């Protein structure tokens, strides 16, 4: 289960950072964290996921970051598309 969550964050991270580079955003530090809740009974599938993206940079445009996350969620990240069929996913932007 942990590897599935790691795959989800990796897919999301690659999409977001790629889109932000295309939008000429000067990202200095970028992380992606996933917080996953599991069902209490076996097979203990994910019931809710939160993907948190703390980042720092110069003159970052919140709207550009928000758009990159939206594109990852709705168009580019196949892992998110798959997981959304079984559990809700919240995306959270944290500009440091």
| Segments of the chain scoring below 70 in pLDDT | none
| Count of domains forming the chain | 1
Q: Helix, strand, coil % (nearest 5) of the chain?
A: 45, 30, 25
- Interatomic CA distance for residues 95 and 57, integer angstroms: 8
**Domain CATH for 46:** 3.30.300.20
Count CB atoms within 10 A of the CB of residue 91.
17
Show the domain range for 60. Answer: 2-95
- pTM of the entire predicted model: 0.88
**Res 30: pLDDT:** 96
What residues have CB less than 8 Å from 19, skipping those under 6 apart?
Answer: 67, 68, 71, 72, 76
Instruction: Please give the pLDDT value at position 28.
Output: 97
Q: Nearest-CA neighbor of 29 among 20, 42, 38?
A: 20
The predicted pLDDT at position 54 comes to 97
State residue 77's pLDDT score.
95
């Amino acid at each position: 289960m942990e590897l599935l969550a790691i795959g989800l964050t990796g897919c999301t991270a690659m999409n977001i950072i790629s889109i932000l580079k295309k939008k000429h955003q000067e990202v200095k530090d970028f992380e992606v964290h996933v917080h996953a809740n599991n069902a209490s009974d076996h097979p203990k599938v994910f019931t809710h996921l939160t993907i948190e993206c703390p980042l720092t940079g110069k003159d970052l445009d919140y709207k550009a970051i928000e758009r990159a996350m939206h594109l990852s969620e709705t168009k580019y990240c196949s892992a998110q598309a798959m997981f959304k069929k079984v559990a809700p996913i919240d995306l959270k932007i944290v500009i440091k």
